[in-house]
Amino acid sequence: MTFKGKTAIITGGARGIGFECAKKLGAGGATVVLVDVLADVLKTAAEQLAATGVQVLTYVVDVTNEESVEKMIDDVAEKLGHIDILVNNAGITRDDLLLRMETKMWDLVIAVNLKGTFLMTKHACRYMVRQKSGSIVNMASVSGLVGNPGQANYSASKAGVVGFTRTVAREYAKKNVRCNAVAPGFIKTDMTDVLPEKAKEMALAAIPMQRMGLPEDIANAVCFFASDEASYVTGHVLPVDGGMAP
């Protein structure tokens, strides 16, 4: 897959799945725009990409802040002339059982995972509609498809991403702007590394392939949706989960 001449924005791009997406898109020739709240990690990620010859821009942005999001999108469009690919990868967890879950835990997860996806899509889509082309790839989750105990907030946010993805796809298909989602299962990242061993064992037991996925597995699916090879694919949600989703 080639992305030569394309501009790709990746939120949560400083590490994990986001960074793997950035590496793969950059290797295909895209100019990569990394967006994250972690300034130090963002700087390191950009340096690593630049060392491989990837053209990269970085922005420290909170995706829940509309003013910051709009300013960043406008700046990217002004500097690079077009926005071709948006990967809405930024996401967080604040897990607990429903009766113990604090409202602030609910609000924060919904804000980052769902509102952040909305704001980034809203402002990037303005440019994609004008140029009559673009691919948006949202990060859903197997938890948003089948639910997961202790993740009422996370599952709800990711189920929301699924509905949002399908709606955006229908609204802007006529403008040649595509919107798809990848639904990762249990992927080896910093987010899952901190889980208790018992939780990891239970997760592995639920995976038919009996192993965790890797960030590269998700990046491969993201890059397919972002590529011209998927030019007739929109509104699709692809589980990449070792067989967890029914």
Kindly state whether residue 194 falls inside one of the protein's structural domains.
Answer: yes
- Please, what's the b/e burial string for 175-187 (b: 16 or more CB within 10 A of its CB; e: otherwise)? eebbbbbbbbbbb
The 3-state secondary structure of 39-102, one letter per residue? HHHHHHHHHHHHHCCCCEEEEECCCCCHHHHHHHHHHHHHHHCCCCEEEECCCCCCCECHHHCC
| Alpha carbons 182 and 108: distance in angstroms, whole number | 22
Kindly state whether residue 103 falls inside one of the protein's structural domains.
Answer: yes
Handedness of CA 148, 183, 32, 52 (dihedral sign): positive
Kindly state whether residue 2 falls inside one of the protein's structural domains.
Answer: no
1-10, 132-141, 173-182, 192-201, range with the lowest pLDDT = 192-201
Kindly state whether residue 246 falls inside one of the protein's structural domains.
Answer: no
Global pTM reads: 0.95
Active site residues: 154
Domain boundaries, position 11: 7-240
pLDDT tens digits for 210-220? 999 999 999 99
CB atoms within 10 A of CB 99: 6
pLDDT tens digits for 23-78? 999 999 999 999 999 999 999 999 999 999 999 999 999 999 999 999 999 999 99
Kindly state whether residue 245 falls inside one of the protein's structural domains.
Answer: no
Write out the two tokens for 40.
């130090």
CATH number, domain with residue 235 = 3.40.50.720
Of 76, 166, 164, give the one whose Cα is nearest residue 124: 76
Kindly state whether residue 117 falls inside one of the protein's structural domains.
Answer: yes
Q: How many domains does the chain have?
A: 1
Q: Which residue has the tokens 């690079």?
A: 80
Mean pLDDT calculated for residue range 138-156 = 96
Q: Is the pLDDT of residue 227 over 80?
A: yes
